[in-house]
Amino acid sequence: MSILVISTSLNPGSRSRIMAKQAIADLQAAGVETDFLDLQDVPLPMCDGGACYGEKSLPEVKQKIINATGVIMAVPIYTFDVSAAAKNLIEMTGRDCWTEHVVGFICAAGGQGSYMSVMQIAGSLMLDFRTFIVPRFVYATKGAFEGDEIADGEVKTRIEQLSKEVVRVSDALRG
């Protein structure tokens, strides 16, 4: 079993990346093999439906997703929606990568008003690719952080719970 944690933020001071690293630490503490994909390290061109698929880093990105037993996507919320980079990743990788995978979401946002914003991309994954979405999201606002650390113990607990649930569901669907 291997869980891929994907940080989709392109912001160097990303709070969703901080949350992604917490998920990795929780998974590794539980003895779960993990992999990490940070879109800051692997910039992808915007999907144009054509030439973008020739991007030389794309095969490696796709293989990481395909190889994963489950995926945790850490996404920033901008203007009541997941980041364009998160949606672009799904568009660039497509059906081969997401079909029948288990996906959980960790979201970082500026305020409380966007707590359901991940539902659109979750719905697309479910309907387009038959992705199993873990119905336990983690949503945190900037008040949960102090500098580059999670200061809110409840947010840490929810990340640990989500991580365990992704493992449990991935194991159940693969078993």
- The pTM score is 0.96
Per-residue pLDDT at 170: 96
Which residues in the chain come in under a pLDDT of 70?
none
Q: What is the CATH number of the domain that holds 113?
A: 3.40.50.360
Would you call 151 exposed, middle or buried from its count of C-beta atoms within 10 A (0-12, 13-18, 19+)? Answer: exposed
Give the domain extent around 146. Answer: 2-174
DSSP assignment of 96-110 equals HHHTT-EEEEEEEES
Quick: pLDDT tens for 64-112.
999 999 999 999 998 888 999 999 999 999 999 999 999 999 999 987 7
Per-residue pLDDT at 48: 95
Report how many domains make up the chain: 1
For tokens 């719970």, the residue is 161
Identity at 38, one-letter amino acid code = D
Per-residue pLDDT at 158: 98
